[in-house]
Amino acid sequence: MIKDSLFSRNFSLNIKGKLIELNSPKIMGILNATSDSFYEGSRVTTEDKILLKAEKMLKAGATFLDIGGFSTRPNAENVSETKELKRVIPFIKKLSTTFPEAYISIDTFRPNVATEAVNAGASIINDVSGGQDEAMFETVAKLKVPYILMHMRGKPTNMMTDTNYKNIITEVVEYFVEKTNRLKKLGHLDIIIDPGFGFSKNLEQNYELLNGLRHLHMVGFPVLIGVSRKSMIYKLLKTTPEMALNGTNILNFASLERGAKILRVHDVKEAQETIKLFSALQH
């Protein structure tokens, strides 16, 4: 395994004036306030369900809770901004008051939804579009909250038509360098980068990118990995999202070996066990 100053660097996030150290990997639990997310087990459409699931995730070891109201799977429903707000804002308010120790992330590509969510109690913005809306970077800088910058080409409805790369590792690194430089010019440094597995990448490209994950450390920001129950696992294994937990754990372990600092998952208990086993091997 490559060991250098970039790979072994420790990171921290400033969240509401508190420094969250990432020298040990952290877990982000997925809460989808949608009825059409690709994994049915992640859908939470009532207050009782989301509170129960959030409590279970926090007890199992999640540091962050990521809530989204717009499914980004291919051919998903096109949700209006008004509907997205109605789906997520009441839940964020309830989660932030019920679990004040939790750090809530809003999964959105819309600057206005991001603003309303932070005002309601969210403290991280998770943008799958990588700032395709020109107002997003300025919104993030104004709100002064950590920003998850994901790699994707196009939009969820057409992203799989743009998978031509000369060198996927080089092009993804260049993408992050350009975007993070723009954020730095705005004075924003609390950035997390997400390679965007499954977004504008075919099956083989997903594995090439994961295998070369260590190269992303040259960008200089912590890396978040989201492979949980995705098609790169269940299509390769010829199974379903419901049967892809074992594959998820294996790829999460591989991601940790390559320097991932945050695992975004549906199954927090299993992710925590993966981190514990990985940490034991490091020591």
Catalytically active residues are 230, 264
| 136 to 142, 186, 236: CA distances (angstroms) | 10, 12, 35
Cα-flanking dihedrals φ and ψ of residue 92, to 5°? -65, -45
Least Cα distance to 275 among 13, 28, 4, 8 occurs for 28
Helix (H, G, I), strand (E, B) or coil at 42: helix
Q: Work out the number of other CB atoms within 10 angstroms of the CB of residue 240.
A: 11
Q: Which two tokens stand for residue 260?
A: 């991932």
CA–CA separation, 106 and 70 (whole Å): 11
> How many Å apart are CA 257 and CA 212, to the nearest integer?
11
Q: How far apart are CA 211 and CA 119, in angstroms?
A: 38
Q: What is the Cα gyration radius of the chain?
A: 17
| Residue in this structure with the two tokens 């819309």, named with its chain if needed | 110
User: At 27, is the secondary structure helix, strand, or coil?
Assistant: strand
Residue with tokens 């409805």: 157
